[in-house]
Amino acid sequence: EPEVTQTPSHQVTQMGQEVILRCVPISNHLYFYWYRQILGQKVEFLVSFYNNEISEKSEIFDDQFSVERPDGSNFTLKIRSTKLEDSAMYFCASNPLAGGGGSYNEQFFGPGTRLTVL
Amino acid sequence: AQKVTQAQTEISVVEKEDVTLDCVYETRDTTYYLFWYKQPPSGELVFLIRRNSFDEQNEISGRYSWNFQKSTSSFNFTITASQVVDSAVYFCALSEALSNQFYFGTGTSLTVIP
């Protein structure tokens, strides 16, 4: 069964460094997402991406964050200058359909990347 | 305001007991979707169930059952005859038709004691 994959599973970085988290969504999916879960807290929406542009973003997704689909398979989240509070689990998800109009919303989540900022 | 409320932060039960995890949601959309996910200690999100707002039938899958009541905006999850392997954090989530993002509740940490 197709699944969303994420690499690396665990990333350790120094404060101020740039990190890129990688995701390979399911191949025929059209909508892509990033979520964040700080340890012990709920999963929070960061950004959705459709047709090569950001569709929605939350307040968390500030100028330090960017997303990109550099080729036909990868979907990346970049944090330009990491802060201690960026330490979290980052989940990528994909959806086969475009949003709106009563479309069928199911998101397939990847296994997550645990980011530790020292 | 929270779109999804899971009032129970932590629950402990003894193995073989039944346990119900509560979820209350808030939305103005007439079309929406509700989900439950299990997050074991390893951290991944395991999909359990999806319900759309037009389908209020309750569902049973093995030891799991879900009670969706639009009148009270609730989507509760019951585990019958709990097992130690059920120990995890369980998240309820809402997705509205006009916005694809998921709104997660704060999760309920379930511990099943052998």
Extract the tokens encoding B113.
Answer: 């004691």
Nearest to A42 among B44, B95, B105 (CB): B105
Would you call A100 and B97 a contact, using CB atoms and an 8 Å cutoff? yes
Q: Looking at the complex, does the CB of residue B76 fall below 8 Å from at least one CB of chain A?
A: no
B39-65: per-residue pLDDT in tens?
998 888 998 988 889 888 888 889 999
Taking contacts as CB-CB distances below 8 angstroms, the residues of chain A near B105 are 42
Select from A58, A107, A115 the residue whose CB has the most chain B CBs within 10 Å, as the one to mutate to test that interface.
A107
Nearest to B100 among A41, A48, A109 (CB): A48
Nearest to B97 among A48, A103, A111 (CB): A103
Taking contacts as CB-CB distances below 8 angstroms, the residues of chain A near B44 are 109, 111-112
**pLDDT (tens place) for every residue of chain A, 118 residues total:** 778 999 999 999 999 999 999 999 998 888 899 999 999 899 999 999 988 999 889 999 999 999 999 887 899 999 999 999 999 999 999 988 754 433 456 788 999 999 999 9
Would you call A106 and B50 a contact, using CB atoms and an 8 Å cutoff? yes
* DSSP for chain A, written as a single string: ----EEE-SEEEE-TT--EEEEEE--TT--EEEEEEE-TTS-EEEEEEEETTEEEEE-TT--TTEEEE--SSS-EEEEESS--GGG-EEEEEEEESS--STT-----EE---EEEEE-
Extract the tokens encoding B31.
Answer: 């079309």
Q: Are B56 and B108 in contact (CB under 8 A)?
A: no
User: What residues contact residue B3 under an 8 Å CB cut-off, 6+ apart?
Assistant: B25, B26, B27, B94, B103
